[in-house]
Structure formats: C-alpha cells, structure tokens
Homo-oligomer: A and B are copies of this chain.
Amino acid sequence: VLHAVDDLLVEVGYAALTMTAIAERAGVGRQTVYRWWSSKAEVLFEATMIDAGRELAVEPRGTTLDELAAFVDAVVRFLTASEAGAGYRALVGEAQHDPQVAHLMESSSLFDGAVDPVLARAVDRGDLAPTADRASVTAMLVGPVLFRVLTDGPLPDPHHVARAALAVTT
C-alpha cells in the first residue's frame, strides 16, 4: 500500500491520489486501507516519513559552516528531487486545509530532528552559544529553502543561508 501511494503521488499528483485509487493500485480492498489509516494524508505521512529522515542526515565535516551548508543542501535536494520530498510538500499543503494533518505534521519535527546533531557538534566546537535558540537557527536554515520551493521561486544559495544562520548567533 505504501509503495502504491508513493508511486501514485509522482504519477498523478496529490489531488488525484484518492483512497479508491490507492486501494486499486495496491490490489487491496478499499476497506483494508481504511482499517489501517483514517485518511489519505495518514497513508502518505507513513510512506513519506520513513525515507525523509534518512535523506536529511548529515555526515560530520571539518567545520560547522560546512556541516550547516551540507544540511541546507540536503534540504534542497530533499524538497526538489526526492520522492519523499514531494510527499512532504503535499502534506504541508494539506495541513493548511485540515487541522488533523496539521497536528500530524507538527508532531513529526522532521527538520528539527535532523539538524539537532549538527547543532550539538557546533556547540562542542564553540561555534554556537549553548544558550542560543536552536529552533530559530533551524527555521533560518530550512525556511528560506522551503519558502522558495513551495512558491516555485528561485532557490537561495545554501552557503549564504548557512552563513546567515550562523552569523546571527554569535
């Protein structure tokens, strides 16, 4: 079923991603889908979040700035080129219409989770004050990219974004 959802999302888009189509594609009864998930958003959430975390993981590098830039770059690739990223964009969209989906997304803290190890290492290196507002830093790393992706605008340069996010904290 999860594979069916992934495939259908890229093939027909979220609008045409109906429960009926999911069940048919998965070769499964419609009731079976409803038995395990209560809406198409929940199916997509499960199908997406499995991969999403992995794609955002950042390997340790020499400098904090490099690591942050690598993270921003991972965000860019996730949102623009990845199947899971397409699912994430659709879910953020749906969350604007459906409070239940909003709550589902809120509880995932996808980016926060991925960037936390990086920020921890930055504190160890002395590049980030232990008292700094990590949520703000995360927002400044992710936000500019997400904004431009969601509105089909020109993507900002990852290094610029990383530099700005780091600069403000010193």
Interface residues of A (CB under 8 A from B): 13-15, 89-90, 92-99, 102-103, 105-106, 112, 133, 135-136, 139-140, 142-148, 150-154, 156-157, 160-161, 163-165, 167-168
By Cβ-Cβ distance, the 5 closest A-B pairs, closest first, are A93-B96, A143-B143, A143-B144, A143-B147, A164-B168
Q: How far is the CA of A139 from the CA of B144 in the complex (A)?
A: 5
Contact among B90, B96, B144, B146 with A136 in the assembled complex (CB-CB below 8 Å): B144
CA distance A146 to B160 in the complex (A): 19
Residues of B within 8 A of A95 (CB): 93, 150-152
**CB pair B150 A15 closer than 8 Å:** no
Interface pairs (30), CB distance under 8 Å: A15-B98, A89-B96, A92-B151, A93-B93, A93-B97, A95-B150, A96-B150, A105-B152, A106-B152, A106-B153, A112-B153, A133-B157, A135-B153, A136-B156, A139-B143, A139-B145, A139-B153, A140-B143, A143-B143, A143-B145, A143-B146, A146-B147, A146-B150, A147-B147, A161-B168, A163-B168, A164-B164, A164-B165, A167-B167, A167-B168
**Contact indicator A97/B90 (Cβ below 8 Å):** yes
A98 to B102, CA, bound (A): 19
B residues within 8 A CB of A161?
A: 136, 140, 168
- Please give me the residue from chain B that is nearest to A136 by CB atom: B156
Q: Complex Cα distance A152/B146, Å?
A: 14
Residues of B within 8 A of A136 (CB): 144, 156-157, 160-161
In this complex, the member of A96, A152, A161 whose beta carbon has the largest number of chain B beta carbons within 10 angstroms is A96
